[in-house]
């Protein structure tokens, strides 16, 4: 109905800021120009797009539908602009990655160090969160790529498999009598279990495994970081469920030991997510090449 991108741009900023005045300031226009542009768009569609209030403007139901499409176009345009700038050089720009604290520390850190040495002008932005949060960040255009545990099933995402991880139960010297034993799940559950409290893939996977054997895995303690899982196990407060690769130092030093079970715990894979059919920035492409 209209090919005038400027009208959509004004509409987007008015909706985003909730104010015609703020939209005018953002676009370096006058407030009457913004009002006129919104009126033109409403007349062309034959629909009211905004509710006018004393405090500003809010989207009507029809306006919200239009905004859902325009917002995506703005993200694409922003990515296109970033792509063009990045094609010129990597002397500046940014790389935005989402992932968990543990994956940043134990998996991505060497790659981040190498990338920073090679491209010191590119700013690194690391966004921490659970897998559902990282997926949301990616879809909202807040990050370029996300590093999470698989499986990920989402038609909007492209997921490339990376390293394999193995989770395990570990304990400290307080449970030394268990070190040379092979435990059943029943016997393991006789001891206090410490689990990650957030909605992580590892937590869901081990819960489902216990359920498949007819057991309910109810932790005695829940914590919000891998570091606390490790430290509480070392202090003897219980048996922690962690990723073996993340406690290799403690296992080697002997401050923790792995609990041997009579069932096999399945391995997990790390996946690198990007938006399907959406071009990567040059910085993100170079980083993906480094990770392999």
Name the DSSP letter for residue 90: S
Q: Please report, in tens digits, the pLDDT of each residue of the chain (292 residues total).
A: 445 888 999 999 999 999 999 999 999 999 999 999 999 999 999 999 999 998 899 999 999 999 999 998 888 888 888 777 766 667 778 899 999 888 999 899 999 999 999 999 899 999 998 888 999 999 999 999 999 998 888 999 999 999 999 999 999 999 999 999 999 999 999 999 999 876 777 888 899 999 999 999 999 999 988 899 999 999 999 999 999 999 999 999 999 999 999 999 989 899 999 999 888 888 899 999 999 7
Determine the Cα–Cα distance for residues 165 and 244; give it in Å rounded to an integer: 7
Please tell me the class of the 90-162+270-291 domain. Answer: alpha beta
Determine the Cα–Cα distance for residues 190 and 217; give it in Å rounded to an integer: 11
Q: Tell me where in the chain the CATH 3.40.190.10 domain(s) lie.
A: 90-162+270-291, 167-266
Determine the Cα–Cα distance for residues 39 and 166; give it in Å rounded to an integer: 59
Which pTM was predicted? 0.64
Burial of 31-66, coded b for 16+ CB within 10 Å and e otherwise, reads eeebbebbebbbeeeeeebbeeeeebbebeeebeeb
CATH 1.10.10.10 for the 5-86 domain, yes or no: yes
Specify the CATH number for 167-266; select among 3.40.50.360, 3.40.190.10, 3.10.580.10, 3.40.640.10.
Answer: 3.40.190.10
């Amino acid at each position: 109905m209209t090919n005038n991108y400027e009208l959509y741009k004004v509409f987007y900023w008015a909706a985003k800021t909730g104010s015609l005045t703020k939209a005018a300031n953002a676009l370096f226009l006058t407030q009457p120009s913004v009002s006129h542009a919104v009126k033109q768009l409403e007349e062309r569609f034959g629909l009211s797009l905004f509710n006018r209030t004393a405090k500003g403007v809010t989207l009507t139901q029809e306006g919200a539908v239009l905004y859902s499409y325009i917002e995506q176009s703005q993200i694409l345009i922003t990515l296109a602009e970033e792509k063009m700038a990045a094609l010129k050089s990597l002397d500046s720009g940014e790389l935005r990655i989402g992932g968990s604290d543990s994956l940043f520390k134990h998996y991505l850190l060497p790659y981040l160090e190498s990338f920073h040495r090679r491209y010191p002008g590119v700013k690194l932005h690391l966004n921490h969160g659970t897998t559902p949060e990282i997926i949301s960040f990616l879809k909202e255009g807040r990050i370029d790529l996300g590093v999470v545990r698989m499986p990920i099933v989402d038609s909007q995402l492209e997921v490339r498999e990376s390293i394999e991880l193995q989770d395990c139960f570990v304990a400290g010297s307080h449970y030394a009598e268990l070190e040379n034993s092979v435990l059943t799940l029943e016997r393991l559950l006789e001891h206090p279990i410490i689990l990650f409290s957030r909605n992580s893939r590892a937590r869901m996977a081990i819960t489902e495994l216990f359920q498949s054997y007819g057991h309910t895995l109810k932790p005695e303690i829940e914590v919000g970081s891998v570091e606390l899982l490790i430290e509480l196990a070392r202090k003897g407060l219980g048996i922690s469920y962690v990723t073996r690769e993340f406690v290799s130092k403690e296992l080697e030093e002997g401050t923790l030991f792995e609990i041997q079970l009579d069932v096999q715990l399945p391995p997990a894979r790390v996946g690198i997510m990007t938006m399907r059919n959406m071009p990567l920035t040059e910085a993100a492409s170079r980083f993906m090449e480094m990770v392999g």
